[in-house]
Amino acid sequence: MNTKTEEGRPLPLGANLHEKGVQFAVFSRNATAISLLLFDKPEDRKPREEIVFDPRRNRFGDVWHLFVPDLAPGALYLYRVDGPYNPEKGHRFNRNKVLLDPYAKALTGSFRWKLNQAVGWDLSSPLRDLSFNTDFNPAEIPKCIVVDDEFDWQSDKPLNYPLRKSVIYEVHLQGFTKADRTLRHPGTYLGVVEKIPYLKELGVTSLEFLPLMEFDEFEFERRNPRSGEALQNYWGYSTIAFFAPKGRYSTGPGLGEQVTEFKTMIRELHKAGIEVIMDVVFNHTGEGSELGPTYSFRGFDNSIYYILDENRRYYKNYSGCGNTLNCNHPLVRGMIIDSLHYWVLEMHVDGFRFDLGSILGRDQRGALMENPPMLEMIAEDPILRHTKIIAEAWDAAGAYQVGWFPGGRWAEWNDRYRDDVRRFWRGDEVNVGSLATRITGSSDLYLRDGRKPFHSINFITSHDGFTLNDLVSYTRKHNEINGEENRDGNDHNLSANYGVEGEAPAGSPVDLKRRRQIKNFMATLLLSLGTPMFLGGDEFRRTQRGNNNAYCQNNGISWFDWDLEQANRDIRGFVSRLIHFRFSHPALLRPEFFTGKDERFNAMPDVAWFDERERTPDWDRQKKLLALRIDGHEASMEMDRDSRDLYMMFNSSGDDRVFCVAPPRQGLSWRRLIDTGLQTPEDFVEEQEAPFLRPQNRYYVSGQSFVLLMAK
């Protein structure tokens, strides 16, 4: 077969459908030859046709391009690229290893990747990656799919809620619904659509999904040492195609329907008022170290796409995953921006959380930059102006930039909030000033550069670490089934088991204490200034049985056990009421930091702090006990409507304590709304049913309990 082709154009990159065919364009500066391979089926071992790019006709600068008439959506393709194979100079071209298009919009999704066949060196050679592999491997990796971007969006647009009016719910898309026996499409994009009523009832505004871009879930060779089960890359922090939604999360074989189903999920979530934030991994790719497979970037231009060591055979590894993407090379910056634009414009995504975001601030030698162009481009990009951009403000090589992340408008995962709140409720002997700072927006981190309380993404748990139930059930991690002899995962958990390691009998004193602590954590999180995020399933005590690094557990360890939702409806209801309370009280959504001043001239500062005796705390000595009063008047909040005055009392000691309560505004009285020391339903009562305090000037706070009063 000898398909006639046309010259084509160098932009846009990727495979783009036109009325009369498909335009192909791909970057490579150092390649000497490129071919486009067309296939009939995902499992084909040979292409039906190989179309060679003529460098005189089909190359403009560093872009290789051509147009194939009459090619339709669903067409399957790969590339083969020739050039120097000289690892010590940073070049790893190998024409025998077929390559995925870096701009591919979909990959054949039911494919089982065969990593060893994609390695560009001879596995039997003692020279290792200095040797050369001559095996042709088109049957061993997925094929790229030509995608038709047309979709009936029904006038949908990204919701882009302001951060201060958001509550983020972090989930793994597959694990969220995989074990739900009531669904037609568990573990898929459409399965999420089926769970929309649950999400609406819970009250969250924003779903933050773990990585949804294509990755190889079969890249691990380890097995569960107890069961023998093969371990998988479940989390997906190993991206290999930055424009392609994960094919295995669709209901079909992954032949392009994943794009349509992804869009359907977004559209239906938006109809329900729920936005989508994607966890994106631009810090490294799934090609690993110098011994890893050649799937795409390494074979197109290794020395451009990656930060290489001084000995260019090796990779700088700031990600802890074998390589580091060269994010501040102009070509790679352009690819990242193109990817973000695609997910926002074509897929209607509302925001991004950038995994190991500090890497995006490293230069081409790996040094941290004062004004990184990549981060500034994202922050100032006009298309992304209202898109959420959230940084994990550290990396695996020691960079830690929480409170200092460059780029202007970036929000940050605030692990200082996580650790300080955990320490307080565990009852550590730490001064309460750290808690006071965290629950009022972390001004020590964000005030100095003009950012706001909502730039702090407050969280206590996330996918990386214990679930909230396990935080109060285990004193140490239990990751033995990960196959790394329990060496993986964080040892600094600030957790406690309250007498029993692991599960305790329902209704036992240990179980009741854990339930109270869960409510304490959730009340603190959802009543703090800042943007709250919590781990999906924490609202009904999802457990990973002490595993604090379940990245390789694509099974019941990670999947939501929906039977627990029925067993813990009281906690789920408590969390839902907290979310609705947060949104109904503007004092908790204020856009500015507290000042401690009387902005209303009513003899009441916007926030006032007290010890248990109604005195100003001795910040150098005060531990385990703290109270605060918030003036809810609109003038003190710069908000558009009034709010109730609130009074919070925190007691992390093991002893019951009497708190003297400062008075509310004149003419108002305190009512008790929340007391985690009480049993359901008294722990959180409806506002119209909240009982008056008698007497008004004191309240008995049980040990390890939180109390919220409201003036009325």
686 is catalytic: no
Helical residues (DSSP H) of 9-113, grouped into ranges = none
Given the residues 180, 355, 565, 645, select the one marked as catalytic: 355
Answer yes or no: are the C-beta atoms of 683 and 674 closer than 8 Å. yes
Answer yes or no: are the C-beta atoms of 582 and 205 closer than 8 Å. no
Answer yes or no: are the C-beta atoms of 333 and 374 closer than 8 Å. yes
355 is catalytic: yes
CA distance 522 to 706: 10
Q: Which residues of 570-608 are buried (b: 16+ CB within 10 A; e: fewer)?
A: ebbbbbbbbbebbeebbbbbbbbbbeeeebbeeebbbbb
Beta bridge partners of 651: 625, 705
SS3 103: coil
CA distance 289 to 538: 36
Answer yes or no: are the C-beta atoms of 531 and 164 closer than 8 Å. yes
Q: What is the DSSP string of 513-579?
A: HHHHHHHHHHHHHHTSBSEEEEETTGGGT---TT-S--TT--STTTS--HHHHHHTHHHHHHHHHHH
DSSP 8-class letter at 137: -
DSSP 8-class letter at 437: H
Rounded to a whole number, what is the largest CA-CA distance in the chain? 91
Q: What is the DSSP string of 596-621?
A: SS-SSSSS--SEEEE-TTSS---TTT
Neighbours of 58 (CB within 10 A): 23
Residue 223 dihedral angles phi and psi, to the nearest 5°: -130, 155
Angle, vertex CA 578, rays to CA 577 and CA 579, nearest 5: 90
CA distance 211 to 204: 20
> Which pairing describes strands 33-39 and 76-82: parallel, antiparallel, or unpaired?
antiparallel
Kindly tell me the number of DSSP H helices and DSSP E strands found in the chain.
Answer: 15, 27
Neighbours of 125 (CB within 10 A): 12
Q: What type of residue sits at position 114? A: K
SS3 650: strand
CA distance 601 to 605: 8
Residue 636 dihedral angles phi and psi, to the nearest 5°: -85, -10
Element (H, E) at 459: none
How many Cα atoms within 13 Å fall on the side-chain side of residue 462?
24
SS3 107: strand
| Token pair recorded at residue 11 | 């932009």
Q: Is the dihedral of CA 206, 256, 217, 306 positive or negative?
A: negative
CA distance 611 to 628: 9
Answer yes or no: are the C-beta atoms of 133 and 97 closer than 8 Å. yes
CA distance 654 to 225: 40
Neighbours of 43 (CB within 10 A): 12
Candidates 469, 467, 443, 472; CA nearest to 455 is: 443
Given the residues 101, 217, 287, 392, select the one marked as catalytic: 392
- List, by residue number, the catalytic residues: 355, 392
